Each structure stands twice: as structure tokens, then as C-alpha cells.
Structure 1
Amino acid sequence: MAKIKVTQVKSRIKCNKRQKRTLDALGLKKLNGTVEHEDTPNILGMIEKVKHLVRVER
């Protein structure tokens, strides 16, 4: 599987609890934090739910 980089580019302050938990599950704790994940359907689904807060690089 391919690797993707996920970077948080917007604040989580006004997000609902579900979106905050999704960011935590992705490993994003701080603004401009970057993590690498495998390109799996589970990860892509989580990214889809918080796509307005993150930037994805393949």
C-alpha cells in the first residue's frame, strides 16, 4: 500500500467532539502536525470526515 501524509492545517477549537476524536485517532494533536499512514479505506474514511481541517499529500 502507498503512504500518505496528513497535515492538520486548521484549528480544532470549534469542531464537534466526533471530529476531535477523529483527529486524535489519526494522530494529529497540534496545528501543523504531520503524520504518515497507509492508504487504507479506514484511514481514507477518517480523512473524509475531517477534510476541511487537513491537507493530504500522496
Structure 2
Amino acid sequence: MARVRITQVRSTIDRPQVQKNAIKSLGLGKINRSVEVEYTDAMKGAIAKVQHLVKVEEI
């Protein structure tokens, strides 16, 4: 399975609760924080909800 690095680049202030929950589920919460995760279907869904708030890089 592929691994990706996800970096939060925009704030969740004034965003819907669904997007805030997706950011939390990815392990983020502050701007410029990064996590490395397996690129599973669940991660793809969470990333799709907040694609405008994060940057995704394949490792």
C-alpha cells in the first residue's frame, strides 16, 4: 500500500463541522502540521472532504 504525507495548509476556522472532523481523523489540527499515513480508501475519503485545506505528497 502506498504511503502519503498530508500537510495542513489552511485553517479550519469558519469551516463546517464535517471538515473539522475530517482534519481530526487525519491526525492534523494546526497549520503546517504533517502526518504520514497509508493511502487507504478511508484516507482517500477524508482527504477528498478537505482537499482545499491540505497538501498531499506521495512518499
TM-score (norm 2): 0.94
TM-score (norm 1): 0.96
- Extract structure 1 runs of 4+ deviating beyond 4 A: none
Distance 2:55 2:14 in 1: 18
CA offset at residue 11 of structure 1? 0.7
Q: Aligned partner of 2:14: which letter? A: K
Distance 1:34 1:45 in 2: 18
Structure 1 runs not aligned, ≥5 long: none
Over residues 13-37 of structure 1, what are the superposed CA-to-partner deviations in whole Å (9 max), with x where a residue is unaligned? 0111110011001000211100011
- Identical aligned residues as a percent: 47
